[in-house]
């Protein structure tokens, strides 16, 4: 039989697990809502309902819709390390991995697009920037060693890699229809994207 102290500890742990579970459900529902409708179009009430929570609980955890969007975006970026190539000399293959990720997790692409379109203010920490700084430095090192052409600004090149990776995932539907009428499904065209990156980044002799 539990005494009062043990009972309180057990209840506290249950409440903590319940709170964590509710937060996870809210973030999952918000990811879907923001990806589909953006920050302005997503409705807090619908997000809470989808999560099986209430608006008061959502506001208690996240403060407001903008902070919830920031939480969703930060978690999305932290879960998508493949968006940042690990080694400069592997840019071709890494871009192919990004290409597959864009089709496998379309909400990632949409959230980033909404962030740019709506200009939502999301406070980023130095830790959020560090992977990109690391890869810019890695590209610069690869340029110095001759693995990558030196004519590129490393930040420009990283941006180009990201754009190529989402080229077909973001392509207008009429172009996709034409391409798929005359060739393979666009989601199967990873090899072409990898080759484009290799040609762009190859050392200049």
- My answer on whether 175 and 93 are in the same domain is yes
CATH code, domain carrying 25: 1.10.10.60
Place of tokens 């830790």: 127
Residue 125 in domain: yes
Q: How many CB atoms lie within 10 A of CB 96?
A: 20
Q: Which of 174, 176, 196, 195 is nearest to 185 (CA)?
A: 176
Number of domains present in the structure of the chain: 2
CATH code, domain carrying 120: 1.10.357.10
pTM: 0.69
3-state secondary structure of 39: helix
Q: How far apart are CA 37 and CA 43, in angstroms?
A: 9
Q: How far apart are CA 130 and CA 109, in angstroms?
A: 21
List, run by run, the mean pLDDT of 10-residue segments along the chain (205 residues).
44 48 91 90 93 91 90 75 58 86 85 79 75 84 85 90 89 94 93 92 67
Last residue of a domain, one of 37, 64, 91: 64
pLDDT of residue 27: 92
- My answer on whether 59 and 115 are in the same domain is no
Buried b (16+ CB within 10 A) or exposed e, 130-148: ebeeebbebbbebbeeebb
- My answer on whether 97 and 42 are in the same domain is no
Buried b (16+ CB within 10 A) or exposed e, 153-186: ebeebbebbbebbbbbbeeeeeeeeeeeeeeeeb
- My answer on whether 100 and 54 are in the same domain is no
Residue 70 in domain: no
Note down the domain range covering 48.
4-64
pLDDT of residue 155: 93
């Amino acid at each position: 039989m539990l005494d009062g102290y043990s009972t309180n500890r057990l209840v506290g742990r249950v409440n903590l697990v319940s709170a964590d579970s509710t937060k996870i459900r809210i973030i999952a529902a918000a990811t879907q809502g923001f990806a589909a409708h953006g920050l302005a179009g997503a409705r807090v009430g619908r997000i809470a309902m989808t999560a099986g929570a209430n608006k008061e609980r959502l506001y208690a955890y996240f403060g407001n819709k903008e902070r919830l969007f920031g939480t969703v975006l930060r978690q999305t970026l932290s879960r998508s390390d493949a968006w940042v190539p690990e080694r400069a000399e592997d840019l071709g293959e890494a871009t192919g991995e990004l290409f597959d990720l864009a089709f496998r997790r379309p909400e990632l692409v949409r959230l980033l697009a909404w962030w740019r379109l709506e200009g939502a203010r999301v406070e980023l920490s130095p830790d959020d920037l560090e992977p990109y700084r690391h890869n810019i430095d890695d590209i610069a090192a690869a340029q110095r060693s001759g693995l990558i052409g030196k004519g590129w600004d490393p930040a420009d090149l990283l941006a180009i890699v990201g754009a190529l990776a989402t080229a077909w995932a973001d392509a207008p539907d009429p172009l996709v229809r034409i391409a798929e009428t005359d060739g393979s499904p666009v989601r199967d065209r990873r090899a072409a994207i990898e080759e484009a990156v290799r040609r762009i980044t190859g050392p200049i002799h």
